[in-house]
Copies of this chain bind each other. A is one copy, B any other.
Amino acid sequence: MPETRLNRLRHALQRESLDALALIPGPTLVHTAGTSFHLMERPVVLLATPGGEPPVLILPEFERSKGETSPLRPTLFTYGEDPSERAPAFAAALRHAGLAGKRIGVESLRMRFLELRLLEAAAPGATFVDAEKVTTELRLTKDAAELQAMRRAVQVAEQALRATVPLLRTGMTERQAASELTAQMLRAGSDSELPFPPIVASGPNSALPHATPTDRQLQPGDFLIIDWGAAVDGYISDLTRTLAFEPIDPELRRVHAIVLQANEAGRAAARPKVACAEVDRAARQVIETAGYGPRFTHRTGHGIGMEAHEPPYIRGDNAELLAPGMTFTVEPGVYLTGRGGVRIEDNVVITPDGAESLSTLDRSLLVIG
C-alpha cells in the first residue's frame, strides 16, 4: 500500500513541479510512510522526491529502529540528544537529496518553525511553498482498506449511541450524557483518541451549531442534538442524530421532518462528476423552500478520513467535482434561537454511480420517555 502511495506522491510532485515534499509527523506522514511518529520537541522530517530514489528520513537516533521498519525503506539521517547535532543531520540529509536551490513543498497547516528553519539552513537557496494541493490529492479518495476502517468507525459510533440512548434521563447533565457516550465508544472498540469530544446540546443549547456539553440538565420538552464520532485505525466517523423528550414542540417536529428531507436530498444529489456545491444546493433548497433558509447557518458538510475536517468541503461556492472514493458528511441543520435545533448527519462515500451512506442508524426523531 505505502509503495503505491509513494508513487502517487511522486507523480503529484512532478505535475506540480516540486523537487520534494517535506512532511512532519501527522496524518499525511502516516498515510505516506505507513509508520506513525509522535510530533514532539525533537524534529522528525520525511523528504520524498519525484524520482525513484528512496525517501530521506531525519529522526532522533533513539527512533532509528522505527525508521528502519518503515515500509518505504527510507535513507536515515539521525541525530543525538544534543540539539547542536540537528543542523548537521539536516544538512547531510538535504545534501544527499540534492535539494539546495530547489523547490520544496510543505504542509502549511502543519510544518512548524522548528523544522522549517532547519530545512531552510540545510538547503541554501531552496524555496519552500505550500503543497496543500499535493497532500490533499493524496488523501482525497479512500482505498478499500481506508473505507473498511471508516465503516468500522461508523459501526462503533452507532453501537455506542444505541447503548447510550436507554441511559438518557431528564435530570442528567449534557456533560454526563456526553461522558457516557464516550465510554460506550471506547467499549465498542474505538481508538482511544476520539476524533472530537461528543457534543450533547439540549434545549436552547441545541440551537447553537457548535455547542459544547455544559452542566445543563436535560429537561422535559428538550430537543437534543448528539454529534459524535469514533476512530478505528486512525480513520474517523462523524454522525449527528436529534432526539427529544416529550412533550414535543410541534414546530421543531416539523423542522425535523424538513431537515431529514434535506439530508436525503443532499445524499441523493451526491455522485461522481457532481460539484460539491450541487450537494449543498440540494440540501439547502429543501430547507429554503420550507421557509427556514436563514436558520441553516452552515455548510452542508465536510470531508472526513484521517481528520475530522478535510477536503472536499460541501459548500455552495465549491465547484470541485466529486469522484469515487471521496468521503464526506451530509449534515443539514436548522436552529431556532432560544428554543432548539435539529441536525441530521451521515457519512457518505462516492461510488462509481452514486453515493452510499456508511451510516444507517435510524434518522427519525427519537422520542425519549
Contact = CB atoms under 8 A, between A and B. Distances in A.
B112 A109 contact: yes
Contacts of A197: 192-193
A47 B183 CA distance: 40
A110 B109 CA distance: 10
A193 B179 CA distance: 11
A15 interface: no
Nearest to A315: B81
A158 interface: no
Interface of A: 41, 106-114, 116-117, 128, 130, 175-176, 178-180, 182-183, 186-187, 192-193, 197-198, 212-213, 309
Q: Would you call the interface of chain A mostly helix, strand, loop, or mixed? A: mixed
B107 A113 contact: yes
Task: Give 6 closest A-B pairs by Cβ, nearest first.
Answer: A183-B183, A179-B186, A192-B197, A111-B113, A108-B113, A108-B114
Given A107-B113, A175-B192, A179-B186, 16 more contacts: A41-B109, A108-B113, A108-B114, A108-B117, A110-B112, A112-B112, A113-B130, A176-B187, A178-B186, A178-B192, A179-B192, A180-B183, A182-B192, A183-B183, A183-B186, A193-B197
Q: Which of A112, A117, A213 has the most CB of B within 10 A?
A: A112
Contact of A183 (B111, B175, B179): B179
